[in-house]
Structure 1
Amino acid sequence: MTPRNTGRRTTRAVDTRKAAGVIDLYERGHIDLTDALARISGVDDPMGSVAPPIDKRRIHELLRELDDLVGLDEVKRVVREIFALVYVQRLRREHRLKADPTVLHMIFYGNPGTGKTTVARILARMFHECGLLEKGHLVEVERADLVGEYIGHTAQKTREQIQKALGGVLFIDEAYSLARGGEKDFGREAIDCLVKAMEDHKHELIVILAGYEREMRWFLSTNPGLPSRFPIQIRFPDYGVDQLVQIAKKTLATRDYRMTAEAEWALRSLLQNALREPRLEPFSNARFVRNLVERAIRRQAVRLFEEARPKRDALMLIEARDWQGDEVR
């Protein structure tokens, strides 16, 4: 016979194995007494399960990874603010204090190659470490991944991508393209489907929209309900010559290469010309530098192929002539 539900809260049996683990965390100073008692008694967090302790060591490792990125000072400051808030709100819940729900959907403004996708990946892993996301992975999509070719196809494709992203971050690059086709375009259906999913899966999904600033601001103006759903908006500035040279050095170093002093000056001159050159498309920043590095490595390989037996230092060195032949793009 099934017991009748009296509406009163029933006492939950204590899992002795879990209790032993919680006591161990308390004795080692990772959690306080209030938190320990809550965990043993099975008090749930808002996400639906007893929240594991935040490993601040892992958070600091990810923040160091963020700090290692060239430039992006304002981006780094905002990211630290976000995680300080997430961490403190978590502590307030553990101490039975009011903690307002934090909406973490974001918009990234910036040209190509300014670090938007890289920062999004770090954010996803940080949210996982904070217990906000189950998996902490990043699903990167664009218009073609969301918009279908016939009625009903768009909703299906969009839901499939949302399903892949549950437990992580859905990163939509060039999001403004979803609204470019006018009122009858299927992109509008993708937007509606996305907005619904953000509400239905608000504890399982964080959405980041990215793109050029002017186009993204136009996109937000096409739907009055969108701006309030993305309260965090971060601007990714273009890199200057010094920062681009630093990116080139880091890119080369990860592959066991380095530049001569003359090569660095040649690269700097090349970048100065590139930044001055008028173009139809926005400058691609780090992507431009990575392409330069790839071509320089290929030219070095052709140059060394003519030598009988290149020594170790020669195999590592990029010379000024290895940058030659690059035209501005």
Structure 2
Amino acid sequence: MTVMDTPNGFGYPRPSATGAAGPGPEEQPAESVTLADDAELDLSADEAAARVEQTLASLDAELVGLAPVKRRVREIASLLQVDRARRQFGLTSSRPTLHMSFTGGPGTGKTTVALRMAAILHALGYIRAPRVHTVTRDDLVGQFIGHTAPKTKEAIARAAGGVLFIDEAYYLFRPENERDYGQEVIEILLTEMENERGDLVVIFAGYPDRMTTFFSANPGLSSRVPHHIAFDDYSYPELLQIAGLMVASENFRFDEAAHQAFSEYLSRRMEQPRFSNARSVRNAIERSRLRQARRLVELRRPLRKEDLVTLTADDIYGSSVFLDSTDQSG
């Protein structure tokens, strides 16, 4: 479970499942005053809106590319800000349904966006804590009769007041196995997503084609998930940019030859199976650091700061990607 640090409270009642406002456990009830019809409300002056904008800015800074994803996140944030403004004018409406589906390959930023989404929902009062509890099938599905319901309800309880992130959600549905208990998980989720939608946001994540099949086979679940966000694979230039950011964030740098070597590495690695976008880039950099460390130790001489921060071409070309085109471990 991942918890993000966000200031507690913001002086506004929190929306409940019915659309009425109720205070969160960490704050005192605030007096609700309905604005006059001719009043003006400056959205940018809202403290919560400022924190949302800060979170969106950090998302832009942390993630390369993903323009459609960032645009959709901003749209959802805008919807919730306007919903808050409407309430202050006494314009009641049903609480927006916030369950989501994130589809994309591995290493495309789904978990990072889930964390930032939790921060936005918390700042605007739609969840009690900026918390994301991540689970997979193994955390939800039991091995015998009577085991699944307690496991699923425990996961939901851990996520209560925050976000339940179900990774590779399609593994819950196995129609070929009549004795599989994954369908029981789906039925429990259907109930809890409706009954507890004022206290829980569920995000389903996985590969696009499998998620399409998953929702098609479970129309009741699909109808409760209005926000579908697609995470495209990164392009070659974007992955090079990501590599540069990762290296710099760890206080390393590529020398000129190493930069060229990593460009060659990436071109080859992207053509191999099981390539995982930014995750594969991070793994490649970690292995380059291992080769750098071995190289420096074998120098058997005093080291300078420049030695310690520089990754060379040898540190890159040592990858098995250059030795054996059928080896994807490099």
Range into which the TM-score falls when normalised by the shorter chain: 0.7 to 0.9
What is the CA-CA distance between 1:270 and the residue it aligns to?
A: 1.0
The gaps in structure 2 that reach 5 residues or longer are 1-9, 24-28, 32-45, 322-327
Task: Give the one of 175, 189, 194 matched to 1:194.
Answer: 189
Q: Is the 8 A contact 2:289 2:311 kept in 1?
A: yes
Q: Report the counterpart of residue 273 of structure 1 in structure 2.
A: 268
Return 105-114 or 93-102, whichever deviates more.
93-102
Distance 1:116 1:272, change over 3 A: same
Distance 2:30 2:145 in 1: 42
What is the CA-CA distance between 1:55 and the residue it aligns to?
A: 2.3
| Structure 1 residues 285-321: Cα deviation after superposition (integer angstroms, max 9, x where no partner) | 1110111010111111111113311111121111111
Distance 1:80 1:99 in 2: 21
Q: Report the counterpart of residue 325 of structure 1 in structure 2.
A: 318
**Is 2:302 the counterpart of 1:309?**
yes
What is the CA-CA distance between 1:56 and the residue it aligns to?
A: 2.4
What is the CA-CA distance between 1:45 and the residue it aligns to?
A: 6.9
**Is 2:56 the counterpart of 1:63?**
yes
Task: Give the one of 70, 78, 83 matched to 1:76.
Answer: 70
Structure 1 vs Structure 2 CA RMSD: 2.0
Return 130-139 or 220-229, whichever deviates more.
220-229
Distance 1:99 1:256 in 2: 50
Residue type of the alignment partner of 2:190:
V
Residue type of the alignment partner of 1:302:
R
Task: Give the one of 165, 175, 180 matched to 1:185.
Answer: 180
Residue type of the alignment partner of 2:288:
A
Residue type of the alignment partner of 2:112:
T
Q: Report the counterpart of residue 290 of structure 2 in structure 1.
A: 298
Structure 1 counterpart SS, 2:320: coil
Residue type of the alignment partner of 1:166:
A
Q: Report the counterpart of residue 176 of structure 1 in structure 2.
A: 170
What is the CA-CA distance between 1:57 and the residue it aligns to?
A: 2.4
Distance 2:201 2:78 in 1: 18
Task: Give the one of 101, 108, 113 matched to 1:107.
Answer: 101
Return 91-100 or 222-231, whichever deviates more.
91-100
The gaps in structure 1 that reach 5 residues or longer are 1-29
Q: Report the counterpart of residue 324 of structure 2 in structure 1.
A: none
Q: Is the 8 A contact 2:291 2:318 kept in 1?
A: no
Task: Give the one of 65, 86, 91 matched to 1:92.
Answer: 86
Distance 1:189 1:51, change over 3 A: farther
Distance 1:91 1:286 in 2: 38
Larger Cα-atom Rg: 1
**Is 2:250 the counterpart of 1:262?**
no
| Structure 1 residues 117-149: Cα deviation after superposition (integer angstroms, max 9, x where no partner) | 110011011111111110120000000000001
Return 208-217 or 53-62, whichever deviates more.
53-62
What number of residue pairs does the alignment pair up?
287
